[in-house]
Amino acid sequence: MSSILERLAAVNSLNASELAAEFGVSAATLRRDLQMLEDQHLLARTHGGALAQSVAYELPVRYRGGQNREQKQQIAAMAASLLPRGKLTLGLTGGTTTSEVARKIANRVDLTVVTNALNIAAELAMRPRIKILMTGGVARAQSYEVVGPFAEQTLRGLNIEVAVVGVDGISAEGGLTTHDEVEAHTNACMIERSARCIMVADGSKIGRVLLARICPISRVTELITDDSADESALEELRRAGVTVHVLAGWSTQVTGPKAQGIPAP
Protein backbone atom coordinates (compact mmCIF):
# COMPACT_ATOMS: atom_id res chain seq x y z
CA MET A 1 0.00 0.00 0.00
CA SER A 2 2.92 2.36 0.50
CA SER A 3 3.64 2.06 -3.25
CA ILE A 4 0.10 3.25 -3.98
CA LEU A 5 0.49 6.31 -1.75
CA GLU A 6 3.92 7.15 -3.14
CA ARG A 7 2.50 7.05 -6.65
CA LEU A 8 -0.53 9.09 -5.61
CA ALA A 9 1.71 11.69 -3.98
CA ALA A 10 3.57 12.10 -7.26
CA VAL A 11 0.65 12.25 -9.72
CA ASN A 12 -2.44 13.15 -7.57
CA SER A 13 -4.77 10.67 -9.29
CA LEU A 14 -4.71 6.95 -10.09
CA ASN A 15 -6.45 4.65 -12.54
CA ALA A 16 -7.19 1.38 -10.74
CA SER A 17 -7.04 -0.86 -13.82
CA GLU A 18 -3.72 0.55 -14.97
CA LEU A 19 -2.26 0.33 -11.47
CA ALA A 20 -3.38 -3.29 -11.00
CA ALA A 21 -1.71 -4.26 -14.27
CA GLU A 22 1.47 -2.41 -13.35
CA PHE A 23 1.70 -4.02 -9.90
CA GLY A 24 0.69 -7.44 -11.23
CA VAL A 25 -2.27 -7.85 -8.88
CA SER A 26 -5.95 -8.48 -9.46
CA ALA A 27 -8.42 -5.60 -9.69
CA ALA A 28 -10.18 -6.98 -6.61
CA THR A 29 -6.96 -6.89 -4.58
CA LEU A 30 -6.25 -3.33 -5.61
CA ARG A 31 -9.79 -2.25 -4.78
CA ARG A 32 -9.40 -3.71 -1.29
CA ASP A 33 -6.14 -1.80 -0.82
CA LEU A 34 -7.74 1.44 -1.99
CA GLN A 35 -10.64 0.89 0.39
CA MET A 36 -8.27 0.38 3.33
CA LEU A 37 -6.40 3.57 2.48
CA GLU A 38 -9.65 5.50 2.14
CA ASP A 39 -10.74 4.18 5.54
CA GLN A 40 -7.54 5.75 6.94
CA HIS A 41 -8.38 9.05 5.18
CA LEU A 42 -5.21 8.80 3.07
CA LEU A 43 -6.98 9.05 -0.29
CA ALA A 44 -10.41 9.48 -1.80
CA ARG A 45 -11.74 6.70 -4.02
CA THR A 46 -13.39 7.55 -7.31
CA HIS A 47 -15.14 5.46 -9.94
CA GLY A 48 -12.20 3.61 -11.45
CA GLY A 49 -9.43 4.98 -9.28
CA ALA A 50 -8.42 7.36 -6.49
CA LEU A 51 -7.63 11.03 -5.90
CA ALA A 52 -5.25 12.82 -3.56
CA GLN A 53 -6.54 16.37 -3.87
CA SER A 54 -9.98 15.53 -2.47
CA VAL A 55 -8.47 14.37 0.82
CA ALA A 56 -8.96 16.77 3.71
CA TYR A 57 -6.18 15.14 5.70
CA GLU A 58 -2.43 15.64 5.60
CA LEU A 59 -0.55 12.93 3.74
CA PRO A 60 2.15 11.51 6.09
CA VAL A 61 5.65 12.78 5.36
CA ARG A 62 6.95 9.30 4.54
CA TYR A 63 4.69 9.33 1.48
CA ARG A 64 5.63 12.87 0.44
CA GLY A 65 9.37 12.39 0.02
CA GLY A 66 9.06 11.62 -3.68
CA GLN A 67 7.02 14.71 -4.53
CA ASN A 68 9.09 17.27 -6.46
CA ARG A 69 12.22 15.62 -5.10
CA GLU A 70 14.68 17.19 -7.53
CA GLN A 71 13.35 20.69 -6.85
CA LYS A 72 13.53 20.11 -3.10
CA GLN A 73 17.14 18.97 -3.32
CA GLN A 74 18.08 22.06 -5.30
CA ILE A 75 16.20 24.32 -2.90
CA ALA A 76 17.99 22.66 0.03
CA ALA A 77 21.38 23.15 -1.60
CA MET A 78 20.66 26.86 -2.05
CA ALA A 79 19.49 27.18 1.56
CA ALA A 80 22.71 25.55 2.78
CA SER A 81 24.77 27.93 0.65
CA LEU A 82 23.03 30.97 2.18
CA LEU A 83 23.91 30.02 5.76
CA PRO A 84 26.71 32.04 7.36
CA ARG A 85 30.08 30.38 7.79
CA GLY A 86 31.48 29.85 11.26
CA LYS A 87 29.62 29.07 14.45
CA LEU A 88 25.89 29.14 13.95
CA THR A 89 22.71 28.21 15.81
CA LEU A 90 20.36 26.87 13.16
CA GLY A 91 16.67 26.04 13.59
CA LEU A 92 15.05 23.39 11.40
CA THR A 93 11.36 22.60 11.40
CA GLY A 94 10.08 19.29 10.08
CA GLY A 95 9.24 18.60 6.44
CA THR A 96 10.61 16.94 3.34
CA THR A 97 12.54 20.01 2.13
CA THR A 98 14.03 20.82 5.54
CA SER A 99 15.10 17.16 5.78
CA GLU A 100 17.04 17.70 2.56
CA VAL A 101 18.61 20.81 4.11
CA ALA A 102 19.75 18.70 7.07
CA ARG A 103 21.52 16.33 4.66
CA LYS A 104 23.24 19.26 2.92
CA ILE A 105 24.71 20.65 6.16
CA ALA A 106 25.62 17.27 7.70
CA ASN A 107 29.36 17.72 7.09
CA ARG A 108 29.64 21.08 8.85
CA VAL A 109 31.53 21.17 12.14
CA ASP A 110 30.37 24.50 13.55
CA LEU A 111 26.64 24.09 13.97
CA THR A 112 24.20 23.84 16.82
CA VAL A 113 20.96 22.57 15.29
CA VAL A 114 17.68 23.18 17.10
CA THR A 115 14.88 21.01 15.76
CA ASN A 116 11.52 19.56 16.71
CA ALA A 117 11.71 16.98 13.91
CA LEU A 118 12.47 13.43 15.06
CA ASN A 119 13.83 12.28 11.69
CA ILE A 120 16.17 15.26 11.35
CA ALA A 121 17.49 14.82 14.90
CA ALA A 122 18.06 11.09 14.33
CA GLU A 123 19.93 11.70 11.08
CA LEU A 124 22.17 14.47 12.41
CA ALA A 125 22.79 12.68 15.72
CA MET A 126 25.12 10.40 13.79
CA ARG A 127 27.31 13.43 13.07
CA PRO A 128 29.30 13.90 16.29
CA ARG A 129 30.64 17.33 15.27
CA ILE A 130 27.14 18.82 15.08
CA LYS A 131 25.41 19.64 18.35
CA ILE A 132 21.72 18.68 18.32
CA LEU A 133 19.18 20.32 20.59
CA MET A 134 15.88 18.45 20.38
CA THR A 135 12.68 19.82 21.83
CA GLY A 136 10.23 17.75 23.83
CA GLY A 137 6.59 17.48 22.92
CA VAL A 138 3.95 15.21 21.45
CA ALA A 139 4.98 13.39 18.25
CA ARG A 140 2.91 13.81 15.08
CA ALA A 141 3.03 10.76 12.84
CA GLN A 142 2.19 12.84 9.76
CA SER A 143 5.25 15.11 9.97
CA TYR A 144 7.63 13.39 12.46
CA GLU A 145 7.53 16.64 14.45
CA VAL A 146 7.07 16.97 18.19
CA VAL A 147 4.71 19.80 19.01
CA GLY A 148 2.79 21.41 21.83
CA PRO A 149 3.59 23.20 25.11
CA PHE A 150 6.71 21.18 25.95
CA ALA A 151 8.28 21.96 22.57
CA GLU A 152 7.32 25.62 22.85
CA GLN A 153 8.75 25.91 26.35
CA THR A 154 12.13 24.71 25.04
CA LEU A 155 12.08 27.09 22.08
CA ARG A 156 11.16 30.13 24.19
CA GLY A 157 14.39 29.69 26.14
CA LEU A 158 16.62 29.80 23.04
CA ASN A 159 18.08 32.37 20.67
CA ILE A 160 18.28 31.05 17.10
CA GLU A 161 20.33 32.94 14.54
CA VAL A 162 18.75 31.41 11.41
CA ALA A 163 15.64 29.27 11.09
CA VAL A 164 15.03 27.26 7.93
CA VAL A 165 11.32 26.57 7.84
CA GLY A 166 9.14 24.34 5.70
CA VAL A 167 5.42 24.98 5.27
CA ASP A 168 2.45 23.62 3.36
CA GLY A 169 1.34 27.04 2.12
CA ILE A 170 2.80 30.54 1.77
CA SER A 171 1.15 33.66 0.42
CA ALA A 172 1.42 37.40 0.95
CA GLU A 173 -2.09 37.67 2.36
CA GLY A 174 -2.34 34.37 4.25
CA GLY A 175 1.23 34.28 5.54
CA LEU A 176 2.66 30.87 6.42
CA THR A 177 0.13 28.09 6.84
CA THR A 178 -0.03 24.37 7.51
CA HIS A 179 -2.57 21.60 8.13
CA ASP A 180 -2.39 21.32 11.93
CA GLU A 181 -3.04 24.17 14.37
CA VAL A 182 -0.80 22.74 17.13
CA GLU A 183 2.10 22.28 14.73
CA ALA A 184 1.51 25.82 13.48
CA HIS A 185 1.82 27.24 17.00
CA THR A 186 5.04 25.34 17.69
CA ASN A 187 6.63 26.43 14.40
CA ALA A 188 5.60 30.01 15.15
CA CYS A 189 7.60 29.81 18.38
CA MET A 190 10.72 28.79 16.46
CA ILE A 191 10.28 31.65 14.01
CA GLU A 192 9.72 34.15 16.85
CA ARG A 193 13.00 33.09 18.47
CA SER A 194 14.94 33.47 15.19
CA ALA A 195 16.75 36.55 13.94
CA ARG A 196 16.45 35.44 10.31
CA CYS A 197 13.83 33.18 8.73
CA ILE A 198 14.47 31.37 5.44
CA MET A 199 11.45 29.66 3.92
CA VAL A 200 12.06 26.59 1.74
CA ALA A 201 9.06 25.59 -0.38
CA ASP A 202 8.69 24.03 -3.81
CA GLY A 203 6.48 25.82 -6.29
CA SER A 204 3.34 23.85 -5.40
CA LYS A 205 3.24 25.59 -1.97
CA ILE A 206 3.34 29.15 -3.30
CA GLY A 207 0.00 30.94 -3.14
CA ARG A 208 -1.65 28.18 -1.07
CA VAL A 209 -3.53 28.98 2.14
CA LEU A 210 -4.33 26.15 4.54
CA LEU A 211 -6.27 25.87 7.79
CA ALA A 212 -3.68 26.81 10.41
CA ARG A 213 -1.75 30.07 10.23
CA ILE A 214 1.81 30.00 11.52
CA CYS A 215 2.68 33.69 11.21
CA PRO A 216 2.27 36.71 8.93
CA ILE A 217 4.54 37.10 5.92
CA SER A 218 6.34 39.99 7.64
CA ARG A 219 8.27 37.44 9.74
CA VAL A 220 9.88 35.92 6.62
CA THR A 221 13.28 37.20 5.49
CA GLU A 222 13.80 35.06 2.40
CA LEU A 223 12.02 32.46 0.30
CA ILE A 224 13.71 29.80 -1.81
CA THR A 225 11.48 28.12 -4.38
CA ASP A 226 11.55 26.78 -7.94
CA ASP A 227 10.29 28.17 -11.23
CA SER A 228 7.06 26.16 -11.15
CA ALA A 229 5.74 28.69 -8.60
CA ASP A 230 2.96 31.05 -9.66
CA GLU A 231 4.65 34.28 -10.73
CA SER A 232 1.84 36.55 -9.57
CA ALA A 233 2.00 35.01 -6.09
CA LEU A 234 5.78 35.50 -6.04
CA GLU A 235 5.38 39.14 -7.06
CA GLU A 236 3.00 39.70 -4.15
CA LEU A 237 5.59 38.20 -1.81
CA ARG A 238 8.27 40.52 -3.19
CA ARG A 239 6.01 43.53 -2.66
CA ALA A 240 5.49 42.33 0.92
CA GLY A 241 9.25 42.65 1.51
CA VAL A 242 10.43 39.05 1.03
CA THR A 243 13.67 38.38 -0.83
CA VAL A 244 12.78 35.66 -3.35
CA HIS A 245 15.26 33.14 -4.78
CA VAL A 246 13.82 31.24 -7.75
CA LEU A 247 15.67 28.14 -8.90
CA ALA A 248 15.39 27.24 -12.57
CA GLY A 249 17.34 24.02 -13.15
CA TRP A 250 20.70 24.89 -11.62
CA SER A 251 20.52 28.66 -12.23
CA THR A 252 19.14 31.17 -9.75
CA GLN A 253 17.16 34.39 -10.03
CA VAL A 254 17.16 36.54 -6.91
CA THR A 255 14.68 39.39 -6.61
CA GLY A 256 13.38 41.51 -3.78
CA PRO A 257 14.45 44.29 -1.44
CA LYS A 258 17.61 42.50 -0.32
CA ALA A 259 18.49 40.87 -3.66
CA GLN A 260 22.17 40.30 -4.23
CA GLY A 261 24.30 38.14 -6.47
CA ILE A 262 24.41 34.71 -4.84
CA PRO A 263 25.95 31.80 -6.74
CA ALA A 264 23.78 28.80 -7.49
CA PRO A 265 24.75 25.58 -5.68
pLDDT score at 1: 61
Which DSSP helix (H) or strand (E) runs through 97? helix 96-104
Question: Angle 96-104/69-82 helices, nearest 10 degrees?
Answer: 50
pLDDT score at 149: 96
What is the rounded distance in angstroms from the CA atom of residue 18 to the CA atom of residue 62?
Answer: 24
pLDDT score at 41: 66
Predicted structure pTM score: 0.74
pLDDT score at 45: 82
pLDDT score at 30: 83
pLDDT score at 55: 45
Per-residue pLDDT of the chain (265 residues; tens, 9 = 90+): 667 776 666 566 788 888 888 888 888 888 888 888 777 667 778 888 877 654 444 555 555 544 567 888 999 999 999 999 999 999 999 998 999 999 999 999 999 999 999 999 999 999 989 999 999 999 988 778 999 999 999 999 999 999 999 999 999 999 999 989 999 999 999 999 999 999 999 998 999 999 899 999 999 999 999 999 999 999 999 999 999 999 986 445 566 655 433 334 4
Residue ranges of domains in the chain, CATH in brackets:
2-57 (1.10.10), 69-255 (3.40.50.1360)
pLDDT score at 24: 85
Contact 135, 94 (CB under 8 A): no
3-state secondary structure of 123: helix
160 burial via Cβ count (<10 Å: 0-12, 13-18, 19+): buried
pLDDT score at 141: 80
